[in-house]
Structure 1
Amino acid sequence: MKTIVNIFAAFCLTLSAASFASDDRQYDHFPGLKAPTMAIALCNISRYNELLAQIIQKDEISVADMTKVHELTYTLENAIGKLSEDLLEAKVDLEQVHLASETLQVAIIKRHADLYLAITDAFSDNDACKVNSNE
């Protein structure tokens, strides 16, 4: 009988070790809020950073809190992605403005400055969250 118990225990340990070694669990994914504009991206970052800060300031973070963190990161990732894309475009346009200013090319300055300002305008719009809420 003792041999059967030992064999069963060894079998269970082997299965357990195999499952840990190849932990290919598929986690549920949440539909993060989209960030179609920079203003909405900034708004989402503001709102969801506040939620994240509230959770991580707790002395103990529960499983439900961890799930909430997992969920809100999708929205934050979408917002950061939008900012990254738009800021890369803004960088290119600003560089065109810079270069055109060195050679006094007014048309290029105006065209690229307009593009740059259209992208970065959301940084100075204090009412972005109120006007562009997508929740």
Structure 2
Amino acid sequence: MKLTAIFAAAALGLTLVSGPATADEVDHYRAKPSETLEEAVKNFSEYNRKLAEVLNKDKLTVDELERIHQLTYTLEVALAKINEEMAALPATLERLHLSSEAHNAAEARGVGKVYLEIGQTVVD
């Protein structure tokens, strides 16, 4: 998945993911966990492929709509983890920018390593 697609999805997720379910909502399915950014990106990609397969059908039956419902649980968990991890990335990039501008090699190397650990995780 391209980095821009993940950023767009993460930005959309920030507006769509409102937090834990309310008491009125029913938890029908168990989401596949996304404990790490790597897991979240893997689950996000895999479940988006599964979702695309269902949505590409000519007609969506009740069973297919239920499948979509089921897939969204894992997608929501994965997207929340991606959003959480990516939220700090702009500040880290800015620190890298400023340390390189100040010709601070030690800080640039350290901050750059942190930036790349997160940034390269979301790039295929």
TM-score (norm 2): 0.71
**Identity, % of aligned pairs?**
33
Structure ID, larger Rg: 1
User: What is the correspondence of 1:38-57 to structure 2 with a 5 Å cutoff?
Assistant: 38-57=37-56
CA distance in 2, matches of 1:65, 1:42: 24
Which amino acid letter does the alignment assign opposite residue 68 of structure 1?
A: R
**Which 4+ stretches in 1 moved above 3 angstroms?**
25-28
Q: CA RMSD in A?
A: 2.0
In structure 1, what is the equivalent of residue 35 of structure 2?
Answer: 36
Q: Structure 1: where are the runs of 5+ without partners?
A: 1-24, 127-135
Which amino acid letter does the alignment assign opposite residue 51 of structure 2?
A: L
Within the alignment, does 1:82 sit opposite 2:81 as a pair? yes
- Alignment CA distance shift 1:110-1:32 (3 Å): same
**Contact kept in structure 2, 1:90 and 1:115, CA below 8 Å:** no
CA distance in 2, matches of 1:118, 1:28: 34
CA distance in 1, matches of 2:90, 2:33: 23
- Alignment CA distance shift 1:58-1:94 (3 Å): same
Q: Structure 2: where are the runs of 5+ without partners?
A: 1-23
Shift of 1:49: 0.9
In structure 1, what is the equivalent of residue 109 of structure 2?
Answer: 110
- Number of residues of Structure 1 aligned to a counterpart in Structure 2: 102
CA distance in 2, matches of 1:63, 1:27: 18
CA distance in 2, matches of 1:79, 1:26: 20
Which amino acid letter does the alignment assign opposite residue 99 of structure 1?
A: L
